[in-house]
Amino acid sequence: MNFDFDTPVSRRGTGCIKYDRRPELDPFWVADMDFASAPAILDALHRRVDHGVFGYAQPHEGLNDAVLTYLRERRGVEVPLGHIVHLGGLVPALSLATRAFCKPGEAVMSCTPVYPPFLGVQRDADAELITVDHKLRDTGWSFDWEAMERAVTPATRVFLLCNPQNPLGRVFSKQEIHQLAEFCENHDLILVADEIHCDLILDEDLTPHFSALSLPERYAARTITLLSPSKTWNIAGLGYAYAVIADDTLRRRFTSERGHTLTEINALSYYAAEAAYRDGESWRQELVSYLRENRDQLVTFINTRCPGLSIRPGEATYLSWINATGMGVKNPAMHFEKNAGLFLSDGAPFGWPDHFRFNFGCPRARMLEGLEKIAASI
C-alpha cells in the first residue's frame, strides 16, 4: 500500500502549537510531524467517536494485547501485563521518576544536548542537575565515560537516558547501553530510559535499537523503560505513554508518587495507541522510508549550500541537529527568525547554544522551502 506523505495538510487555525503559537513564522520546531496519522488510527478513532460516550476510561483488553504483542514482536521481550504502568505522556513520567527517587538536595544526571524537559524535571523534586556533554567519537556521538565518572556524586540518584537520542539522532549500541547500565549499578543510580523514538530508526539493519528492556536481569531493579506510539504515528496530542518496570518495589515507588497530579488518560488515546500497534506497521515502514530520503537531502543541502552550518546524519527521528558555530552569531535560531521568518528550536534549552534543531517530518517540498530560506539568509 502506498501512503501519501507529499500532500500538505493545512494546520493553521486548528489550535496546534506548532503553527498557531507564532502564526507569523514558518515553523520547523516542535517535535510533531505534518503528516496525517495512519488510516488505521483514523478509522479506530471514528469508530470510538461513533459510540458517543467519553467518560473516564481504563486500558481495555485490546490495548493491553496490542502493547504486549508489540513488546514481544518489535522489542523482543516477553512482558507480563502487571509490569506495565499506563501514563498520560512521557514528560510527566520523567517528572514522576525524579520525584519518586530523588529527595531535595539529591541529583539527577543526564547527557547533553538533550530534549529540554530532561534539564528541568529535577526542579519538581527540588533536586540538583548534573550534565555531561556527549562526545563525538569515530562511530558518532557517544557518552563521555571519563567525564561522567568525574561528574557523578554520592548524592546522584537518577540517570535520564534518551535513546534514540533527541536531538542528536544517535541510536546507542548494545555495548553502550550495557556500559551505561554498569555505570548506574556502580553508582547506585536508577536508569530511566526514554525510548519514545525507537520506531523511527532510519536503517534498522545498520543501527538496530537495543532497548533497556533487554538488559540482563540483574539491572531490572534499577531500570524504568518509557515507551509510546505517539511520535512515530503522530498522535502526541492524544497523550498516551507507558512505563515498563519489572521490579515490584521500583514500580510501587514510581506509582506512589502520582498523588493527584496526573490526569486521567483520555478515552480516545487508548484506541489510537491500539490501532497504531496492531494495524500501523505498513504505514510506519513507508514513513521511515520517506523520512530517510528527507534526512539524506537535508544533510546534503546543509553541508553544501549553507556555509557556516554543518550536520552529521542522524540515525533516527525526524529531527536534525545543526551546528551553527561557523556562522559567528550568538543565537542562530533567532537569526533565522529575524532574517528568514522561520521558527526553529534554539539549541540553548537543549544545553548547546550555537546549534539549532530542524524538524524534517513534513512533505519534502515544504522541507526544501524551509532549507532554501535558511540558505538565503546566511
Cα 30 to Cα 19: distance, rounded to the nearest angstrom = 10
pLDDT band at 278 (very low <50, low <70, confident <90, very high): very high
Q: 274 is written with which cell numbers?
A: 491500539
pLDDT reported for residue 264: 85
pLDDT tier for residue 39 given thresholds of 50, 70 and 90: very high
Q: Over the stretch 49-62, which tens digit does the pLDDT of each residue have?
A: 999 999 999 999 99
Cell numbers for 300: 546534503
CB-based contacts of 128-134 (< 8 A; 24+ apart in sequence): 128/155, 130/156, 131/351, 133/351, 133/352, 134/165, 134/168, 134/170
For position 261, what pLDDT does the model report? 76
The predicted structure's pLDDT at residue 2: 87
Q: Which amino acid is at 268?
A: L
Q: Can you say whether the dihedral through the CA atoms of 11, 17, 21, 24 is positive or negative?
A: negative
CA distance 237 to 269: 9
Domains and CATH numbers, the chain: 17-30+281-376 (3.90.1150.10), 54-279 (3.40.640.10)
How does pLDDT run across 73-82, given as a tens digit for each residue?
A: 999 999 999 9
In percent, the amount of the chain with pLDDT more than 90 equals: 96
C-alpha cell at 101: 527517587
Binned at pLDDT 50, 70 and 90, residue 291 comes out as very high
What is the model's pLDDT at position 1? 72
Q: Is the model's pLDDT at 118 over the cut of 80?
A: yes
| Tens digit of each residue's pLDDT (9 = 90 or more) over 241-259 | 999 999 999 999 999 988 7
Burial of 349 (0-12, 13-18, 19+ CB in 10 A): middle
- Amino acid at position 173, single letter: S
For the chain, the average pLDDT equals 97
pLDDT at 192: 98
pTM here is: 0.97
Question: What's the pLDDT tens digit per position in 346-359?
Answer: 999 999 999 999 99
pLDDT tens per residue across span 292-328: 999 999 999 999 999 999 999 999 999 999 999 999 9
